[in-house]
Amino acid sequence: MTTSQKINKHKKTALYVLLIYILMQISGRWLLIPFHKLVMSTTGLPSEQAAPLTQGWYIALSFAIALILILILTSRDKAFWAIYKGKKETIPLTIVWGIIGFFLVFFGQMIGAAIEMTVFGIQGGSQNTADIVAIAKGAPITILAIVVFGPVLEEFVFRRVIFGSLVQTTNFWVAAIVSAIFFGLIHFDFTHILLYTICGLIFAFLYHKTKRIWTSIIAHVMLNGFVTFVQVFAEPLQKFLEELEKMQ
């Protein structure tokens, strides 16, 4: 296979990955209602009680199917990830940078939240996160999609496909900013788009620094896992802390 053929193959793979992700995002427009009817018929629950189960299971299944298809697709293009020249970071340092990345994103969000509140008067708390966590409480299977499937999919799409394609023809900052903005927009939480953009910039830096997508995936999974744990178990944790105070 010639160099031009390899490049064309990479472009096709990137396009297919992007299309699978887009189809996953919009599939609910056609499939959510029939899936909801299926859940009601199998569980015997009324519509309102079945709604969280429908949404949770649909999110988990659609994310899982999209991820499987993308993994199959990218496995057939071995050089798809070879966007950088030079030696990649070692596996141990990749893991270390992934952990460091979690703290970078965490503190980056704190700074972003302070800017939102001070400059724009935007209060903390994401409606998008609150909605997803509410679904997760009704259907715990959603947690798997939030913590694992979602981050992996988003890193494949926004870091490898968008950032990875642009960084080869422009530079780090152009690629990082464009991919980070799209990353923020896809969450449909425009009030806090600054926070998502900051996250996207840091994830791009981690990928660029180590030349391994697993670095940004580790940081992303840790971030989503931490936020989900705190949100889902906020009330039990609060009660536990109150009990500890009473015992002292």
188 or 183, which is more confident: 183
How do residues 52-104 score in pLDDT, each as one tens digit?
A: 899 999 999 999 999 999 999 999 887 888 888 888 999 999 999 999 999 99
The reply to whether 10 belongs to the active site is no
Say how far residue 214 (Cα) sits from the centre of its chain. Answer: 13
pTM assigned to the model = 0.91
Per-residue model confidence (pLDDT) at position 167: 94
Q: Mark out the alpha helices in the chain (DSSP H runs).
A: 3-26, 28-43, 47-75, 91-115, 127-138, 141-144, 150-154, 164-167, 172-185, 193-210, 213-232, 234-247
Instruction: Tell me how far apart the alpha carbons of residues 10 and 112 are, in angstroms, rounded to a whole number.
Output: 35
Least-confidence region, from 2-16, 95-109, 198-212: 2-16
Instruction: Tell me how far apart the alpha carbons of residues 205 and 27 are, in angstroms, rounded to a whole number.
Output: 31
* Local structure of 6: helix, strand or coil: helix
Q: Which two tokens mark 107?
A: 């503190």
* pLDDT-based confidence at residue 43 (cuts at 50, 70, 90): confident
Per-residue model confidence (pLDDT) at position 244: 65
Catalytic residue among 48, 89, 155, 187: 187
* Mean pLDDT, rounded, of the chain: 89
Per-residue model confidence (pLDDT) at position 3: 55
How do residues 137-186 score in pLDDT, each as one tens digit?
A: 888 999 999 999 999 999 999 999 999 999 989 999 999 999 999 999 99
The reply to whether 155 belongs to the active site is no
Catalytic residue among 10, 116, 154, 155: 154
